[in-house]
Chains A and B, each alone.
Chain A
Amino acid sequence: MHLPHASLDIAYPNWRVKPAVVFAQDRVKLCSPAAAQTGVRVGMRRGGVNTLCPQAESFLYNPAAEQRALDAVALALLQYTPELALADNNTFLLKVTASLALFNGPRRLGQRIRATMHAQSFGIHLSMAPTAKGAWLLATASRPQARRALKQATLQRRLDTLPCSRLPEAQACLAWLDSIGCVTLGDLRKLPRSGLQRRTHQAMLPALDAAYGLAPETFKWIVPPPAFNHCIQLVERIEHADAIQFVAHRLFEQLCGWLAAHQLAVTRLTLTLQHEHGRQARPPTPLPLTLGAPSWQIDHLLGLLKEHLHHHVLDAPVIAVALHTLETLPRAPASDQLFPQPGSLPVDHLRLLERLTARLGSDCILQPCPMADHRPEVANRWAPLHQKLVPEACIHDANRPFWLLDTPIALSVRQHRPFYGSPLRIIGGPERIEDGWWDGLTIRDYFIAQDQNGTRYWLYQERRRQDGWFLHGLFA
C-alpha cells in the first residue's frame, strides 16, 4: 500500500481542489494537481513556483510529522494483519495470506483497507501480488488497472512491462541500461545474469529476483507500542459536537488496530477534547466511554460515541482530540458451546444497555440494589448500572405497595379520616416501623387504606409527632 501524497495529505487536506506545494530544502517535493496545471514541477525552486502559481499554499516538508502520521496509519492497518512492514517511499507491506479468509477474500479486504485509509484521510495506491517486492513495484509504478496480480504468472506479465527506472536498485546504471536498449524489467531479465552481476549494482539482481518470487524476502515487522495514547491536532477548530465524530473515527481505527495487534478488548476509554491554550485557556473536556461488554469492533465504538455526542454541547472550540484507553482485557475467545451459559447476559442485551446509558446518561438507567433496612425509602435503593453494589436481602412477608412516593404527601383530615381525593378507609395495619436511630430515629405506624373507588394506599402516621397522615405508597 503506497501513500503517494502523504505530506500533502498531512499538511493540507484540501489539496485535491486547490493548489498546494510542499517544499523540502527550498525545492518542490510534491505539488497538487491544480498547481501542476500551472506548470509547477517537482524539483523547482521556490522563486519559480511564486512566479507560476502565486496563489498556491506552500508548506514545508516536516519529516517528524510525517513519521507520526505513518505510525498512526500503521496502527490502523494492524487491524488487517499482524505482519506489517514499512518499506521505502511511504509504502506499507501487508502480509495478508492468513487474513484473506477472515475478511472474505482479497476484493473485500481491499475495500476495507481503502475505507480505513479514507477515514484516516490519506489517498492510497493499493496493489496485491504474491511477492512483497512485486506488490511494491506495482503500487508505486503501475497504472491503476494493473495493480492487482493474484497469480505468479499475472505478476510476471505485469512486472515485465514496467520500465527499469522504477526499480530503485537499478537507478545507478540506468544510463547504461538505456544505452543498450534495455527499457523494461522484462528486457532486463532476458540479459545474461553473469554479465549483469558484473556490470550493475550488486543489489539489483537480488531485488529483481525478490520481485519475481525467485528469492526469499526478509522484513522488519512493525511492533505496536505497549500503551495506546494518541492525539490528533486539528487543522481547523471544531465548534460542533457532531464533527468530532469524524476525527474520532480516525482515532478509533487506530485503536482497533492496536487492540487487534495485542489481542485485547477495551472496556473503558476516554476521549479528551482539548480547547484553546493561551489567553482563553480552558481545561480539556474528558468524554468517558464505558462499554457494557468488552469490544474491539469499530462500528460498535462509533455507534456508542454517536449516542454520547448526541446530547453533548461543546463549551469551547476544540483544537485537538486525544484518545486513551483506561481499561483493557484480554479478548475472550468466542464461546464454542451450542447453548448459552446460564447466568450470563447475552451480548445484545449488554450492548443495548450501553447504548441506552450513552444516550440517556448513566443516572437515568437504574437497577435494583436493595439494602437490608426496615425504612422503606432506605431499603428501596436503585443504583446506576455501572456501580457495582452488593444487593442485600429484602424484607420478606411484609405487605408492601409496588409504588413508593419519593416524598410523602401530607394528607388533610376530614371527619376524622385522612382524605386523598375521597375519604380513605383504613383496612389494614398498623405496622410499626422503628429504625434508623443512628441518623434520626424513624417511628412510623403504617396503615393500608382504600378510597371510595377501591384504590389502595399506604399511609403512615409519625408516632412521635401527632401531625396527621402521610401518603407514602400505592398498591398498584
Chain B
Amino acid sequence: MITEPQAIAGRTLRAEHIHPALWRASQLARPHGRHIDTGFNDLSAQLPGRGWPLGCLVEILAPQPGAGEMQLLRPALIQSAKQRIALIQPPYTPQIAAWANWGGQASQLLWIRPKHATDSLWATEQILRSDTFGAALLWQSTVRSQALRRLHLAAQQSSTLFIVVRPLTAARQASPAPLRLIAQPNPGGLSISILKRRGGVLEGLITLPLYTNNRSADSAHATLDRRASSARKPGHRVPELAR
C-alpha cells in the first residue's frame, strides 16, 4: 500500500497546495483564468471552473456541422452582451432573426467567410490577438495540430471565448485543446460527452434538454385538417405521418 504524503507530514496536504496547476486524477482542475457560465447546470458541474474557459481553445466535435453547437453555446453567447461575436467559416448562413429571438443584438454578430482555409486560420489568429471580440467561433473540417496549437497560444493571450467546431472524426486525433466535447443531438436536445478535460474521465453522457415544446405541448397552431378515417380494409397501410 502506498503511503500518502499527507500522512507522513501529519497534516492535510493537497495537490493544489503544492502548485496551483496540480490536481489529482480524481478531482477537477482548479480553475485559473476567467470562466463564463454555460447556462446548463449539469454541464457546468462537470467542467473545471464551472463554465466555459475564456482565453483557451475549446473543441466541440459534432457529427454534422450546424447540429447543436449553437444551442449549446447560446446561453454563454447571450451573456457576452455588447461584445462582438465572430462566426468564422460557418457551414451555413447564420439567420439574424434567430439570434434576435434568442435575445442577442443583431449588431453583435460578424460573419467572416474567407475564400481559403488558411485565410480563416489567419483571421482567427488576428481576432484572438486583438482581444476585442467577446467570442470567436471557428468551423473547420480539417485543421492541422500545429495550427490548433498556434491558435491556442494566441487564445491564451486574450480573454475571448474561443470555440473550434470540428467533425466527429477528429476525435481520434490528438489536439492541444484542454477541453474537448462531443455534442450529439438526441430527440430531447443534446447529449454531451467529455472527451478531454482537466480532471478525471467522465463516463456516460450529459443530457441537456433543449426543446420543451413537443408536438403534444405545442398547441399554438391548429393541427392539419384530417378527414375522418374511413373504414379500414384488411391489409391496409397505416399512414405514418398521421398519428
A interface residue numbers (CB < 8 A to B): 345-346, 348-349, 351-353, 355-356, 359-361, 364-368, 370, 376, 379-382, 391, 394-406, 415-417, 423, 426-431, 450, 453-456, 473-476
Contacts and interface: CB of A to CB of B under 8 A. Distances in A.
Given A403-B66, A453-B63, A474-B66, A394 B188 contact: no
B35 interface: no
Contact of B119 (A360, A368, A382, A428): A360
A349 B132 CA distance: 6
A352 B114 contact: no
A356 B123 contact: yes
A395 B100 CA distance: 8
Contacts of B112: 356, 360, 364-366
24 contacts: A348-B132, A349-B84, A349-B130, A352-B130, A364-B112, A366-B113, A368-B99, A368-B107, A370-B97, A382-B111, A391-B106, A399-B101, A401-B98, A402-B94, A402-B98, A403-B92, A403-B93, A415-B240, A426-B241, A427-B218, A428-B215, A454-B185, A454-B189, A476-B70
Contacts of B11: none
B128 to A, nearest CB: 10
Interface string B74-113: 0000000000100000111111111111000011011111
B99 A402 contact: yes
Given A394-B96, A427-B214, 6 more contacts: A346-B132, A356-B127, A380-B97, A403-B66, A415-B240, A454-B187
Given A450-B187, A454-B187, A397 B96 contact: no
Contacts, number: 159
A450 B214 CA distance: 11
Question: Of B63, B64, B93, B110, which is in contact with the most chain A CB atoms at under 10 Å from its CB?
Answer: B93
B187 A356 contact: no
Contact of A394 (B97, B184, B189): B97
Interface in B107-165: 107, 109-115, 119, 122-123, 126-127, 130-133
Contacts of B70: 402-403, 476
A298 to B, nearest CB: 20
A396 B187 CA distance: 26
Given A398-B101, A402-B94, A391 B107 contact: yes
Contact of B101 (A376, A396, A416): A396
Nearest to A432: B221
Contacts of A415: 240
A473 B221 contact: no
A404 B122 contact: no
A370 B98 contact: no
A186 B93 CA distance: 81
A455 B101 contact: no
A399 B98 CA distance: 7
B185 A404 contact: no
B130 A365 contact: no
- Rank and list the top 6 A-B pairs by shortest CB-CB distance, nearest first: A476-B70, A403-B92, A349-B132, A454-B185, A394-B100, A352-B130
Interface in B185-227: 185-189, 211, 213-215, 218, 221, 224
B96 A368 contact: yes
B62 to A, nearest CB: 10
B69 interface: yes
A142 B188 CA distance: 87
Nearest to B113: A364
Given A364-B114, A380-B96, A453-B186, A355 B63 contact: no
Contact of A397 (B101, B123, B214): B101
A375 to B, nearest CB: 11
Interface string B52-80: 00000000000110111111000000000
